[in-house]
Structure 1
Amino acid sequence: MQTEKIIDRIVTWLKDYAQKARVKGFVVGVSGGVDSGVVSTLCAMTGLEVLVLQMPIRQKTDQVDRASEHIEYLKAKFSNVKGINIDLTSAFDELTNIFNATQDNNIPNRDLALANTRSRLRMVSLYYYGQINSLLVCGTGNKVEDFGIGFYTKYGDGGVDLSPIADLYKTEVYALARALDLPESIKNAIPTDGLWDAERTDEQQIGATYPELEKIQKEYSTKSESDYSGRDLEVYKIFDRMHKAAQHKIQPIPVCDIPEEWR
């Protein structure tokens, strides 16, 4: 993997896109994970204004600490970076009360809906700060999440203006983190979406590791279920199920066409 060429290409692409859009730079949500760590650093390397937001909602201490460490790392290294911490816990709690979501534990999909609400609150915050500062909201999704299994929240972390690492697999994002020499805590961070009160890693939620999923995604268009056995077959079934279920995220919003002669 030619990390330096990839880094240069993304930084140039980001800068060109922002200049053509006539904005000052980027706003990035920083979670303490490797994806947001890499994206925020690449944005900083453009020399344009970069605002990094930490937006905890009942967040685990280790996630908050990693995000804070990374923000301080960026501010020390790049004079064009500013950081803000916005605790959205009270806003989330108020929404939960308004939804009456605490009244009935038997509401179907309640916990998942609330988890996605956390992500959507963060999206709203990013766009608020982006708009008042003339900044683009920069996405942090990778290729497996965005185009493989759809492991993101629609109109949450999926609601962005541009996606600089969406053509990179997770293992490639880790390679960029090493090449960029990010803090050890970021380079070694275990992937988690941070949307649950109880700690849930991505692997626990998905049932497979990113390297396992990447193998299937790279072969998905040329192989079928009958080509696999053992653990590979298990992962294929996971990927296939999630990929098919995520088409409403991956494909453009459906539009009902109206015949011209009816107009």
Structure 2
Amino acid sequence: MQTEKVVDHIVKWLKDYALNAKVNGFVVGISGGIDSAVTSALCAKTGLDVLCIEMPIHQAQSHVTRGQEHITNLKRAYKNVSHLRADLTPVFEEFKTEVSLQGEQVVVDMALANTRARLRMTTLYYYAGLKKLLVAGTGNKVEDFGVGFYTKYGDGGVDLSPIADLLKSEVYQLAQALQVTESIINAAPSDGLFGDARSDEDQIGASYPELEWAMKMVEENKTVDDFKGRELEVFKIYKRLNNANLHKMNRIPICVIPNNLRNK
């Protein structure tokens, strides 16, 4: 990949889109992870206003520290970057007191994890509306179009997606070119939605390099009959998640009314 040219291409695309939309810039949720770091750096390079928001909800301290380090470095390098912190922990706890938490614990935990993402989406759009900004998505290609590893109407609720055509390995290449802090580059990818140390690989059952391989195999029309051992296991994981999460990646189904029912 021609990394520097890809950076320039994305930055131009972001700036052109914002100017055509007649907005002031972008708002980005900062998680302490590689995707939000690269996205915010790309937005900063446009020269337009960039608001970075921390939104902790019982967040692991390592995530918080990495996010703050990134914001500090970004503000030092770009005068158009500002930031604020919205501690959503009290909001999340109040939400839990108002809803029923009955049911299987695994299902409850996942519902609450998705609630965290949706509270953050609401916060990003609140500030976007106040400051006339676009919400920049931080999803990469494997997450957004491969395994659907994001929350519908949570981190999937954005105005534009600057890195959604980049594989995770390509995001790391951009991170190096953009001089993202080493602590973020070296950290295990994690969505941080459970308030503990579990990584994306722990949740998915496969690493991003493995998922990229599986994505390529699907594009080449390979089937389960073509693999064995770990490759077969990874291929099945990818296919299972892709099928289960198509509702996120496809258009919302619309009930179309036949013309003969519209006519009297």
Q: TM-score, normalised by structure 1?
A: 0.97
User: Structure 1 residues 201, 167: CA separation in 2 closer, same or farther (over 3 Å shift)?
Assistant: same
1:9-67 residue CA offsets vs partner (Å, 9 max, x unmatched): 00000000001111000000000000000000000000000000010000011100000
Q: How far off is 1:191 after superposition? A: 0.3
1:157 and 2:155 matched: yes
1:132 and 2:116 are equivalent in the alignment: no
Q: Report the Cα distance in structure 2 between the residues aligned to 1:261 and 1:237, rounded to whole angstroms.
A: 44
SS at match of 2:50: strand
Partner of 1:239: 238
Give me the whole-angstrom Cα distance separating, in 2, the residues matched to 1:106 and 1:8: 48
- The aligned counterpart of 2:33 is 33
Question: In structure 1, what is the Cα distance between the partners aligned to 2:84 and 2:105?
Answer: 35
Instruction: Rate the CA distance shift 1:187–1:108 in 2: closer, same or farther, 3 A.
Output: closer
CA distance in 2, matches of 1:54, 1:22: 25
Residue equivalent to 2:168:
170
- Which consecutive unaligned segments of at least 5 residues does structure 1 have? none
Which residue of structure 1 aligns with residue 224 of structure 2? 225
- Deviation of residue 107 (structure 1)? 5.8
Q: Secondary structure at the match of 1:52?
A: strand
TM-score (normalised: structure 2):
0.97
2:59 partner amino acid: Q
Alignment-derived partner of residue 42 in structure 1: 42
**Letter of the aligned partner of 1:37 in structure 2?**
A
Residue 53 of structure 2 corresponds to 53
- SS at 1:256 equivalent: coil
How many residue pairs get aligned? The number is: 261
Shift of 1:105: 6.0
Whole-Å Cα distance in 2 between the matches of residues 235 and 225 of structure 1? 10
Tell me the amino acid that sits aligned with residue 89 of structure 1: T
Residue 100 of structure 1, CA deviation? 3.2
Partner of 2:205: 207
Looking at structure 1, the residues matched to 240 and 90 of structure 2 have their Cα atoms a distance apart, in angstroms, of 36
| C-alpha deviation, 1:188, in angstroms | 1.3
**Match of residue 249 from structure 2:** 250
CA drift of 1:106 comes to: 3.6
Partner SS for 2:254: coil
Which whole-Å CA distance do the structure 2 matches of 1:40 and 1:183 have between them?
13
| Secondary structure of 1:109 counterpart | helix
SS at match of 2:157: coil
**2:117 equivalent to 1:109:** no
Q: How far does residue 198 in structure 1 lie from its aligned partner after superposition?
A: 2.7
Q: CA RMSD in A?
A: 1.1
Q: CA shift at 1:187, angstroms? A: 1.6
State the partner residue of 1:16.
Answer: 16
Query: Which contiguous aligned blocks of 4+ residues in structure 1 show a shift greater than 2 angstroms?
Result: 104-108, 260-263
TM-aligned CA deviation for residue 155 of structure 1: 0.2
For structure 2, the 5+ residue unaligned runs are: none
Q: CA deviation at 1:108?
A: 6.7
Give 1:216's match in structure 2, choosing from 210, 214, 217.
Answer: 214
**Taking structure 1 as reference, are residues 20 and 169 closer, same or farther at Cα in structure 2, changes over 3 Å only?**
same
